[in-house]
Amino acid sequence: MQKQFFTPEKDGFHGVWFPAADDTCRKGLILMLGDSSKDFLARTGAKWVNRQGIHAMTMSPDEKDYGHHSYPLERFGSAIGFMQKHGCEKLGVIGASTTGMMALLAASCYPEFSLTIAISPPDFVMEGFYCDGKDGARERPGDDESTVTWQGKPLPYLPYAYRHPEYWQKIMEESKAGGDRIASREMFEESERRHPVREEEKIKVENIHGKLIFIGAEDDALWNTAKYIRRMENRLKVLPHDSVCESWIYRHGTHFVFPQSLMNMMLPFGSDLAVSLMFRAGKEHPKECRTTRIDIDRRLKETLAQW
């Protein structure tokens, strides 16, 4: 098999197929990493997955757009169809941050996934946001728009506490106050104070099949992912489900709780420095954060090998 590119107009989704070297491989993993399915982070993630002997399909909302708004979850179905036709008998999905949410949502809608990995996820559907530079803001909320749609309808979402331009101003204020390059944890806390998460906005993790892994750190500056992960754990304790769930929550690790070998591939000589420049926790606890990433590396490789 050869690398292939996909577009919504022709194929139903934005993506790139990175087949493993072993043509007899029967496992395929969908990755939603980076701004684009073609960018450096996505390509590096696919290469890392290929090194585990697994086919990789990178997906993104658009050609190059980190914003997430009204993304049709049916695009995962199109990708699943291609992968199954090309020999993938086992399918998994992995996402980080906002795409960690999308990975959970996709797995809750498509029982074909037998492995779901969510890195630094929320436990609710986020409001849609744009990264179009409007009025000089790097990011802004959409107007009454969800991050995702399903069967042509927007999924109910937790609205942000602030609108444009106050939204980005608050993020910058929080980042400066905490010594982070970017931080929005307090904004998400304020969003929940103003609008407690309703049942219809929660991700239905009980509908996920197979192996389910949550990964997060207590010192995450973007949002309180450790709290969100624990809420999903509690949800699974009281609702019937057939998944096998594991929560890997670490004291230190920042929002970037990626496997260390992936970080080394992206930044061969400066992964620790990059994390320390992005987040105060990375600067204050570099050894602990690195130990977290090394442990995640080991556990993820073991999980993929046993899957």
Going along the chain from its start, the domains and CATH numbers come out as 4-124+205-306 (3.40.50.1820)
Kindly indicate the confidence band of residue 36, based on its pLDDT and cuts at 50, 70 and 90.
Answer: confident
d(CA 40, CA 71): 22
pLDDT surpassing 80 at residue 269: no
Let me know: does 177 contact 147? Beta carbons within 8 Å: no
Q: Which of 61-75, 131-145, 226-240 has the largest mean confidence? A: 226-240
* pLDDT on residue 144: 87
**Cα angle for residues 231, 172, 134 (degrees, 5° grid):** 105
Across the chain, mean pLDDT equals: 95
**Residue 49 contacts residue 18 (beta carbons within 8 Å):** yes
Q: What is the CA radius of gyration of the chain?
A: 18
Bridge-based pairing of strands 14-18 and 4-6 is: antiparallel
The owner of tokens 């769930």 is 245
Q: What is the DSSP string of 120-187?
A: S--SBPBEEEE-S-GGG-S-EEEEEEESEEETTEEPP-BPPS--TTHHHHHHHHHHHHHT-SS--HHH
Over residues 159-189, the pLDDT tens digits come to: 999 999 999 999 999 999 999 999 999 999 9
What percent of the chain is modeled with pLDDT above 70?
Answer: 98
Segment 79-134, tens digit of pLDDT: 999 999 999 999 999 999 999 999 999 999 999 999 999 999 999 999 999 999 99
pLDDT, tens digit, 9 for 90 and up, residues 38-77: 888 899 999 999 999 999 999 988 766 667 889 999 999 9
Interval 22-46 mean pLDDT:
91
Torsion angle of alpha carbons 269, 255, 56, 138, nearest 10°? -90
8 Å CB contact between 113 and 213: no
- For 122, the token pair is 């929320």
